[in-house]
A and B are shown apart, each in its own frame.
Chain A
Amino acid sequence: MTRTTTTRSSRRRQRAIALAAFLGFGTVLWIGPANPVSGSAGAAKPATSFRCGPNDDHRTALPLSTGRGTATSGTTVTPCLSGVLSEFSVERGTGDADVATVTNITKVSNDPISITTADGSTISGLYHIAFSNFDVAPDEKTEIKSIKGTSSSVPYTFTLKPDGADAPVVGDGEDVVTDKVVTGDSVVTIDLSSIDLAGLDLPIGPIGAVACALVGGTPGGTLGMDCTVTFAQLRGDLVTLFNGAGVTKFDLKSVDLKFYYLVTHDADGGPAPGTALRFPDTTIAVTP
Chain B
Amino acid sequence: MTGQPTDREIEGRTPDHGAAELRQGTRWGRAGLLALASFGVLGWIVGQAASGALAVQLNVDSQSSPAAFSTTLLEGPDIAFGAAAGSVDGSTTPVLRAGVSDATLNGFCLSQTQSLGVLGDITVKVTAGDDSGKADITANYATFDLTTIRAAGEGVVLGGWNQIGVASTDVTTIDQNGAPYPNPLDAPTTGYGEGWFGIDSDQGAVHNIKGRLYSAQVIGNITLPHLKVNLFHASKTGDAAPCDAAGETPED
B residues 32-64 touching A (CB-CB < 8 Å): 32, 34-35, 38-39, 42, 45-46, 49, 55-64
Minimum C-beta distance from A49 to chain B (A): 4
Asked if A151 contacts B60 (CB within 8 A), the reply is no
> B residues within 8 Å of A by Cβ?
5, 8-9, 11-14, 16-17, 19, 24-28, 30-32, 34-35, 38-39, 42, 45-46, 49, 55-65, 67, 76-78, 81, 83, 85, 92-96, 101-102, 110-112, 114, 116, 119, 122, 124, 126, 140-141, 146-170, 172-176, 179-183, 188, 190-198, 200-202, 219-220, 229, 231, 250
Would you call A84 an interface residue if the criterion is a C-beta within 8 Å of the partner chain's C-beta atoms? yes
Contact call A27/B8, Cβ cutoff below 8 A: no
Partner of B78, one of A30, A41, A284: A41
| Selected contact of A40 from candidates B148, B157, B173, CB within 8 Å | B173
A286: interface (CB < 8 Å)? yes
Neighbour of B202 across the interface among A36, A262, A271, CB < 8 A: A271
Is A285 part of the contact surface with B, judged by Cβ < 8 Å? yes
Task: List the interface of chain A (C-beta within 8 A of B).
Answer: 1-4, 7-8, 11, 14-15, 17-19, 21-23, 25-43, 45-53, 58, 77, 79-84, 86, 117-119, 121, 144, 146, 149-156, 158, 160, 162, 165, 167, 173, 181, 259-265, 271-288
Contact of B169 among A46, A118, A287 (CB under 8 A): A118
Q: In the complex where A86-B197, A271-B202 touch, is A284 in contact with B160 (Cβ < 8 A)? A: no
Least CB separation from B79: chain A residue: A40
Closest to B22 in A: A7
Contacting residues, chain A, for B49 (C-beta < 8 A): 31
Chain B hits for A49, CB < 8 A = 170, 172, 179-183
Please determine whether B56 and A79 come into contact, CB atoms closer than 8 angstroms.
Answer: no
In the complex, are the beta carbons of B167 and A82 less than 8 A apart?
Answer: yes
Contacts of B42 in A (CB 8 A): 29-31
User: Contact between B166 and A80 (Cβ–Cβ < 8 Å)?
Assistant: yes
Residues of A within 8 A of B76 (CB): 40
Q: 4 closest A-B pairs (Cβ-Cβ)?
A: A119-B191, A3-B12, A22-B35, A156-B94
Partner of B38, one of A23, A151, A282: A23
